[in-house]
Amino acid sequence: MAIRLLKASTVNDWSTTIVDTISDSSTSIGLVSTASLNPSQLQAPGALVIDRKSISGTLTPEKREYVYFGGVSGVTLYNVTRGLNSTAQGHTLGALIEETPSVAHWGDMLDWFAVEHNSDGTHALNSHIRQVTVTGVSGASGIRGDLVVIPGSNMSIYAVAGASGYSNVVFSSPTITAGGLSPFSVNGYLATSTYVTPPLMVENALAAKSVSAALKYPASGASLVLDVNKNGTSIFASAAQRLSIAGGGTYASTASISATTFVPGDILTLDIDVGTGDTLTCLIET
């Protein structure tokens, strides 16, 4: 199983058929859309089953295949993972594809829940403790800095042995005005997709200064390239100016933003254009 919380469609007993023959390695699947049942009712990430039965209703266990999908655009499923607790295989035009409760739904939900809970339902807080050591500078009156906490990481703070004077730890944060932008956060595996998080709605007039992003684990292989969109259009002047975390890296920041003015009602979304990674926080500084 995987650590993810799968979403259900917005209607009961969702089903349709595929519009073309697919191979056992196809990672996108085109769907037939009708007035009552259509791809817009699906929510990603989700799991579906292909060829559980024929159009006439005859069960076809030898053809049955469960799949994950990471995104839906128009009438097409994207970032499809094949052969979940089943065998990846080809399917012909007109094959039935439907949403039914499965091992994938139940097992992934339990794995997701177990990340921060014990089997009796209590929180497993101690499993998340990480240590951050801050060393003072001789003669300095204090230490001040910004701390970015990646989802899934925590910290403990303690007095340093041999330090003179008081050992005080003070957390302070800047005032967050009403309508300030929350970060985009993705907890788990990252793959190329549009709208990888719920959209952010701008509540007050704001001016963007920079865009920063951090990963819990380094980007694998090629660079991880991110695009932030305002009302469906990139805030960067060109593809070359998009925010990019180099392969093996965990952080990047850029002030090369062309669309810096945000007004109430603007909708901001995050795309992953290139690369993969794990657990992302992306912040627009205003």
Q: What is the mean pLDDT of each run of 10 residues along the chain (286 residues)?
A: 75 93 95 89 92 93 94 92 92 95 75 72 54 48 49 48 48 45 86 86 89 82 88 92 88 91 92 87 90
Tell me how far apart the alpha carbons of residues 242 and 228 are, in angstroms, rounded to a whole number: 8
Q: What is the DSSP pairing of strand 15-17 with strand 96-98? A: antiparallel
Identify the pLDDT of residue 226. 93
DSSP state letters, 81-132: BP-TTS----B-TT-EEE----HHHHHHHHHHHHTSB-TTS-B-GGGG--B-
Instruction: Give phi and psi for 28, each to the nearest 5.
Output: -135, 145
Length of the chain: 286
Pick the closest to residue 228 from 268, 198, 286 (CA basis): 268
Tell me how far apart the alpha carbons of residues 196 and 275 are, in angstroms, rounded to a whole number: 13
Identify the pLDDT of residue 92. 96
Identify the bridge partners of residue 81 per DSSP, sorted by sequence position. Answer: 68
Cβ burial, residue 71 (10 Å; 0-12/13-18/19+): buried
Position 133, amino acid: T
> 66-104 pLDDT, tens per residue?
999 999 999 999 999 999 888 999 999 999 999 988 777
The tokens for 253 are: 């920041």
The tokens for 15 are: 């089903």
